A and B are shown apart, each in its own frame.
Chain A
Amino acid sequence: MTAAKSLLAADAHTRRRNAAETRFRAYGLAAVLVGIGALVLLLTTILGNGAGAFRQTYITIPVTLNADRLDPAGNRDPAEMATVTTFGYAPMLAQALQQHLQAQGIAMEGIGPRDLMAIISQEAPAQIRAMVLQNPDLLDRTLELEMLAGGRIDGYFKGRVTLQSAERDANVSPAQLVLAQAMADAGMIETRFNWAFLTGSDASGQRPEAAGLGVAILGSLYMMLVVLVLALPIGVAAAVYLEEFAPKNRLTDVIEVNISNLAAVPSIVFGILGLAIFINFAGLPQSAPVVGGLVLTLMTLPTIIIATRAALRAVPPSIRAAALGLGASKMQSVFHHVLPLAAPGILTGTIIGLAQALGETAPLLLIGMVAFVRDFPAAPPEGLFDPASALPVQVYNWTQRADPAFVERAAGATLVLLGLLVTMNLIAVMLRRRFERRW
C-alpha cells in the first residue's frame, strides 16, 4: 500500500504536465510576438520610406510668358505654337528664376545657369507649355507660376538629401541646396500634400518628382471591375451547381479536386495561359486591363468557388428541408433561402479573392502590363482595351529605376496598395456583420 497522497503537494507527474503546458504557452506567445514584430517592422519600413511620396516640393516664381519666343508667328494658333518645344520654354524659366532671385537679393554663389535650371524639375517646361497651348491668351502676361522642384531639391526638403550626401552626388551640389534653402526662407519654395502622386501618370526615369499613380490606380480598378463582373457570377453559379444540384459521382469528384488544385497553381502559370490564349490566340491587345482582368478572373475563380461552397455547406440542412417540405422547388429553396443565408460568406470570399487579384504581379508582367504608360485609359467599356498599368506592376517598375527618389515613390505606391487592401478587407468585415443572421 502506498501512502495516501496529499492534495496540497503536486506530485511529480502533475508538475511535469504543468511545466509542459507552461512551455507550450510560451512557444505560442513567442510565435505571435514574432509575427506581430515582423508586421510592425514591415509597416514602419514602408511608412518611413513611402510617406515622403505623399508630399511634394513646389517652386513659385513670377514668369513673363514672352510671346515673341513662344508664338513666333504671332497668331495665337495653338497648332503653330506647338512647334515651339519645351526647349523654347526652359531658358525662359531659367531666366525668370535668375531675375527673381536677383530682385529678391538672394546670392547665387558658385551656381551657373545650368545648375540654376536643375533646381526646377525637367517636367516644369512641359507643364507650362501644356498650359500655354491650352490657353494662348496667357501670352505676354506675367504670372505667378507654380512648378515642380527637381528631384534632389525635393529630397533635400524631405530629408533624403543632405549637404553631406550632395558632396558625393554628381546630380546635385551643396551650393544648389544652400540656394534652395534660401529660396524656401524667402517663401518661394513650399512642400505640401501631393495630389499629383495619386492622380498623375508615370514619368521617365529622370523625373521621379513628376511620377504619379493615376494610370496604375485606374488600370487596377478596371481590372477589378472585370474580375468582379466575371468571377462573381461564374464562381457562384459553379459553386451552387456543384453543391446543390450536381449528382455526387466520380466526375464531380474529379472536378472538385481540380478546382482545389487550380487554387494552388502558381500565378505566373496563369500569366502564360493569358499570353497564349487571350493575346496570341484571341488577339486581344497587350497591356489592356481587359486581358489582365481575364487572367485574374481565372486566378480568382477557384477562391470564390471554394468560399461559396463552404458558405453553402454551412447553411443548416433543416432550412432546405423546410423549404422543400412546403413544396418549394429545388431552385426556389436555393435562391429564396440558402443563397441569402450564404451571402455573407460568399461576399467575404469574393472580396478576399479580389484583394488577392489586386496584389498580383507575376501574371501581369507576362501580358505586357509592365510597359511605361503615360496616357490615361478612356472610360469603360472602351477604356478596358486601352493600355494601362496596374498598382503592383507600377511598384515593381519603379523599384527597377536608378534614381533613389523612385524608392520613395515605390514605397508610397505600396502604401496606396496596402490602403486599398485594408479598405477591401474592412468592407468584407462590415458586409459580414451587416448580413450575418442567426438561425
Chain B
Amino acid sequence: MNVMQQVEAAVTQTAPKISAKAVDVFYGDTHAIKAVDVEIADKMVTAFIGPSGCGKSTFLRCLNRMNDTIDSARVTGRIDLDGEDIYAPRVDPVQLRAKVGMVFQKPNPFPKSIYDNVAYGPRIHGLARDKSDLDAIVEKSLRRAALWEEVKDRLTAPGTGLSGGQQQRLCIARAIATGPEVLLMDEPCSALDPIATAQVEQLIDELRSRFCVVIVTHSMAQASRVSQKTAFFHLGELVEFDDTDRIFTNPGDHRTESYITGRIG
C-alpha cells in the first residue's frame, strides 16, 4: 500500500469534515447551484473542476459564507462543518471564517509589511499573548507556507513588493496564521507563472497533512497533480464526485468524460 492509499484508507473510516446536503444558491433570479450533495474529508485535497460559470467558485464560497457579502445571494440547504450547521442563525460568520481560511484567485496581500500581513489574523482573533508569541506564529506560518527562507530578512518590507508567487504564498501564510482547520483555495495559481505554480502546488501537497484543503481549479492537470478527490461541476450541478484517479481514468458520467477529454468547457 503506497502513502496515498494509506491516507485514503484512514480517511474513509472517519466522519467527513464538511458535508453539504441539497445546497442551492441563487443570485437574484439566477439559480447558480442546484441541489449539491458532497462530503469533503479531512487531511486531504479535494478539487472542484468544471467549465467557467459552472458554479464551482460559488459553491466554494458557501463553505465559509463569503456569499453573505453579496446582497443578492441566497443559500438554501444545509452545510455542516464537523457536524455543526454553519448556516444556523446562531453562527457568527466571523468565527466561521477564522476556522475556514481562504486564498483567492489573485494574490491580495494587504499594502502593509510582510509581518503585518501574517500577524493581522492572529491580532484580530487575539491568538497571541505577547509580541514574542506573535513572532512565533508569524515564523511558523511563513515556514509552513515555504516562504520563511525567502523573506526572513525583510519582514518589514511591504508584502506588495514580493513576486506574484511569493505574494500568493504570503496569502497562504496569512490564512494559516489564524489556525484554520479548512483551507479554501479559489484558483490560487491562475495568476501565476509555471514555476510559481509548481511551488504553490508542492505547498498544497504539504498542507494536506494538517488541513482539509478544498481547491477550485481550471486546470485538470493541476487537479490530477494535487488532489485526492475531485468533484466535477457542470451548469450548477455536481455531476460526479470520486477519487481523482477514477475521475481522470474512468469517469462514470459522459459529461465528465467530455470535459476531461476537451470536448466541452
Contacts and interface: CB of A to CB of B under 8 A. Distances in A.
Nearest to B72: A248
A325 B124 contact: no
Interface string B152-193: 000000001000000000010011001000000000000000
Interface in A318-354: 318-329, 332, 336-337, 341
Nearest to A247: B71
Nearest to A316: B108
Given A438-B160, A439-B160, A325 B66 contact: yes
B120 A326 contact: yes
Given A437-B111, A438-B111, A325 B175 contact: yes
Contact of B97 (A248, A324, A336, A341): A324
Contact of A324 (B69, B71, B111): B69
Contact of B175 (A326, A328, A332, A337): A326
A319 B108 contact: yes
B178 A326 contact: yes
A325 B94 contact: no
Contacts of A337: 110
Interface residues of A, number: 22
B238 interface: no
B108 A336 contact: no
Given A341-B111, A437-B111, A324 B66 contact: yes
B110 A325 contact: no
A329 B120 CA distance: 13
Contact of A321 (B66, B120, B178): B66
A325 B102 contact: yes
B124 A322 contact: no
Given A247-B71, A322-B104, A322-B110, A328 B66 contact: no
A318 B104 contact: yes
Interface string B87-105: 0000000111110011010
A321 B104 contact: yes
Contacts of A327: 94-98, 121, 124-125, 178
A327 B97 CA distance: 5
Contact of B106 (A248, A318, A323, A437): A318
A324 B124 CA distance: 11
A321 B111 contact: no
A326 B97 contact: yes
Interface string A241-284: 00000011000000000000000000000000000000000000
Which of A318, A319, A326, A437 has the most C-beta atoms of chain B within 10 angstroms of its own C-beta? A326
Which of B104, B111, B160, B175 has the most C-beta atoms of chain A within 10 angstroms of its own C-beta? B111
A326 B71 contact: no
A266 B178 CA distance: 53
Nearest to B121: A326
Nearest to A341: B111
B64 interface: yes
Given A327-B124, A327-B125, A328-B124, A321 B175 contact: no
A321 B101 contact: no
B64 A326 contact: no
A244 to B, nearest CB: 11
B71 A336 contact: no
Interface in B226-245: none
Contacts of A341: 111
B111 A325 contact: no
Which of A321, A336, A437 has the most C-beta atoms of chain B within 10 angstroms of its own C-beta? A321
B71 A325 contact: no
Contacts of B124: 326-328, 332, 336
B101 A326 contact: yes
Contacts of A329: 94
B120 A336 contact: yes
Contacts of B98: 326-327
A329 B98 CA distance: 11
A326 B101 CA distance: 6
A215 B191 CA distance: 61
A321 B108 contact: yes
A316 B109 CA distance: 12
Given A332-B124, A337-B110, A438-B111, A325 B95 contact: no
Interface string B102-145: 10101011110000000011001100000000000000000000
Nearest to B98: A327
A318 B108 contact: yes
A325 B160 contact: no
Contacts of B94: 327-329
A322 B159 CA distance: 13
A137 B174 CA distance: 78
Which of A320, A325, A329, A337 has the most C-beta atoms of chain B within 10 angstroms of its own C-beta? A325
A325 B120 contact: no
A439 B111 contact: yes
Contacts of B96: 327
Contacts of A439: 111, 160
Which of B66, B69, B110 has the most C-beta atoms of chain A within 10 angstroms of its own C-beta? B110
A325 B106 contact: no
Contacts of A316: 108
A118 B134 CA distance: 80
A336 B117 CA distance: 12
Contacts of A326: 97-98, 101, 120-121, 124, 174-175, 178
A91 B69 CA distance: 83
Contacts of A322: 104, 108-110, 171, 174
B44 to A, nearest CB: 22
B233 to A, nearest CB: 21
Contacts of A321: 66, 69, 104, 108
Contacts of B171: 322
A318 B102 CA distance: 12
Contacts of B174: 322, 326
Interface of A: 247-248, 316, 318-329, 332, 336-337, 341, 437-439
Which 7 pairs between the two chains have the least Cβ-Cβ distance?
A327-B98, A325-B102, A318-B108, A327-B97, A326-B121, A322-B108, A439-B111
Given A319-B111, A320-B69, A325-B66, 8 more contacts: A322-B109, A325-B64, A326-B178, A327-B121, A328-B120, A329-B94, A336-B120, A341-B111
6 contacts: A319-B111, A322-B109, A325-B97, A327-B94, A327-B98, A328-B120
